[in-house]
Structure 1
């Protein structure tokens, strides 16, 4: 049975099937609500229910730590009745703007002991339309998908650059070191709404953990291309110095914004590294950005890292909750021992 969902204060309404999330129903209708992980972790899709009742998809929890008492996670709930929702934001999108491509491996470089930078090329004459900070879905042979953020800026629309951390037993990441030039991969994009707010003058703080640097690289390269001038702080965390695997990109931004770009490398398991902060990214944030009132923060990385940064920024450093944007990297299921052996 379908239920009707209306957006409060607008003339927008769309249908939602009983086995479909509110978020997916909106996206299918060409309405983009804020979202990222679509797995109930990041909290980006949290919004209010003005009228009606919802329940968790398959019994899933419809709230997490990022929700206020009035909010639910639109990605994890489905209507029990007709609804009126109050999202924190929405916009119309063209459902046909998302494209599927057969991409070809162009270059596969080991950037750190456990990170590959994978550059893909699209077929001749095809272009991928996306916003800096969005991600793609990569289809595997078993029908499952994996999500990776584009690290290149949107103007490089005939190519896609991915930062892939090697996860032991990972269904895709464990195979990345074996990919050769010319190998084909099936991708669909774009997904996600963790993008730069247009026109805002607020100082920006980016917090990356590991390959959470990828969407931030896309955003900063896009800002440089569009000549956007705002105060910028980038805090990039890794266990050891070798995990800060693209210092050349950081150096480029330091040259581009010599007076308004600040970089902090946070190393959680290595002391005594020159010009590096010894500790976690949330500790570095507290030290280097003690007052976040009237700032905008983007945190990209593991669920635990993002949650620690969110709690610190909002509860202790004065950041408005609406100015926190998260891209949570949730790992897919690992291969079984038998599958790993077969691979």
Structure 2
């Protein structure tokens, strides 16, 4: 059985099946709500149900700590009746924009003891359309996929760059060190809606943990290409300085924006000379270097625990408005698969 979902205050309506999440149904209909992980972790898709009844998808919780008291996670809500919803934002997208490619490994570089930068080339004459901050899925076989953020900016659309941390026994990451030039990978993109508001001029703080630097690099490179002028702070955390594996990119941004502020947050080790260094975690570095975040935007990219800590610090102690916090969580495990009808389902 299907139910009609409308967006309050608009003429938008789409069908949603009993066992389908509201988010998935919206995406299938070409309506993009804010989202990232699609697993009920990041909280980006939180919004209000104005009318109607919902239940947890497959019994899952419909709330997490990122939800305001009147919000539910649209990625975890399945309809029981017709609904009227009020997402934080929405936009029309072309459902056909998501494409599958067979990409070829062009370069595979070990840039830190546990991080590879993997550069992929698309077939001749083909280009990938995506927004800075979005991610792709790699088919790892057995009907499952893994998600990785694009680290390159959208204007570099004939190639894709991924930053991959080696996870012991990882379904894909464990294979990455052995990938050779010319090896083929089946990928699909784009996914995710952690993108910049191009109309905003508010100061922006990026907080990255480890390879959470990948979507941040895409976002900042895109800002550089478009010559965006706004105050920018980057807090990049790792255990030791070697974990900050792409320092030339930071130096390039500092040349373009003389006021660009970079903070190396190192929990176990010394910073390099010239760093605005902090000994400790990124959430503590945020409080120390950005104690007043009123009127700011914060983009946090990394593990769920890291993003949760940064959210608590930014909103709970530093005065950031909840709507100014944007999260891209790296959640290990299978991604969401897409059925033949185009509706994402749990892998």
Question: Normalising by the residue count of structure 1, what TM-score does the alignment of the two structures yield?
Answer: 0.96
Give me the whole-angstrom Cα distance separating, in 1, the residues matched to 2:69 and 2:83: 18
Give me the whole-angstrom Cα distance separating, in 1, the residues matched to 2:161 and 2:333: 20
Alignment partner of 1:305: what SS?
A: helix
Alignment of 1:81-160 (within 5 A): 81-160=81-160
Could you say which residue in structure 2 is the equivalent of 1:195?
195
Alignment of 1:323-342 (within 5 A): 323-332=324-333
Give me the whole-angstrom Cα distance separating, in 2, the residues matched to 1:81 and 1:314: 34
Q: CA deviation at 1:178?
A: 0.3
Alignment of 1:218-237 (within 5 A): 218-237=218-237
Q: Deviations over 1:279-328 (max 9, x none)?
A: 00000000000000000100000000000101111111111111100000
Give me the whole-angstrom Cα distance separating, in 2, the residues matched to 1:44 and 1:272: 33
Could you say which residue in structure 2 is the equivalent of 1:341?
none
Could you say which residue in structure 2 is the equivalent of 1:8?
8
Could you say which residue in structure 1 is the equivalent of 2:267?
268
Give me the whole-angstrom Cα distance separating, in 1, the residues matched to 2:51 and 2:255: 52
Q: Deviations over 1:69-125 (max 9, x none)?
A: 110000011001110000000000000111110000000000100000000000000
Q: Could you say if the C-alpha distance between residues 272 and 204 of structure 1 is closer, same or farther in structure 2, counting changes exceeding 3 Å?
A: closer
Give me the whole-angstrom Cα distance separating, in 2, the residues matched to 1:279 and 1:141: 39
Alignment partner of 2:308: what SS?
A: helix
Q: Deviations over 1:130-174 (max 9, x none)?
A: 000000011112110100000000000000000000000000000
1:47 matched to 2:37? no
Aligned Cα root-mean-square deviation (Å): 0.9
Could you say which residue in structure 2 is the equivalent of 1:338?
none
Alignment of 1:250-269 (within 5 A): 250-258=250-258, 260-269=259-268
Give me the whole-angstrom Cα distance separating, in 2, the residues matched to 1:204 and 1:12: 32
Give me the whole-angstrom Cα distance separating, in 1, the residues matched to 2:180 and 2:142: 21
Alignment partner of 2:218: what SS?
A: helix
- Asked if the contact 2:151/2:162 (under 8 Å) is kept, the reply is yes
Could you say which residue in structure 1 is the equivalent of 2:244?
244
Q: Deviations over 1:230-259 (max 9, x none)?
A: 10000000011110000010001011111x
Could you say which residue in structure 2 is the equivalent of 1:283?
284
Give me the whole-angstrom Cα distance separating, in 1, the residues matched to 2:257 and 2:130: 25
- Asked if the contact 2:302/2:328 (under 8 Å) is kept, the reply is yes
Gaps of 5+ in 1: 334-343
Question: Normalising by the residue count of structure 2, what TM-score does the alignment of the two structures yield?
Answer: 0.95
Could you say which residue in structure 1 is the equivalent of 2:209?
209
Alignment partner of 1:140: what SS?
A: strand
Q: CA deviation at 1:273?
A: 5.3
- Asked if the contact 2:194/2:326 (under 8 Å) is kept, the reply is yes
Give me the whole-angstrom Cα distance separating, in 2, the residues matched to 1:75 and 1:141: 25
Q: CA deviation at 1:6?
A: 0.5
Q: Deviations over 1:168-192 (max 9, x none)?
A: 0000000000000000001110010
Give me the whole-angstrom Cα distance separating, in 1, the residues matched to 2:100 and 2:185: 11
Could you say which residue in structure 2 is the equivalent of 1:316?
317
Give me the whole-angstrom Cα distance separating, in 2, the residues matched to 1:240 and 1:142: 36
Q: CA deviation at 1:271?
A: 4.4
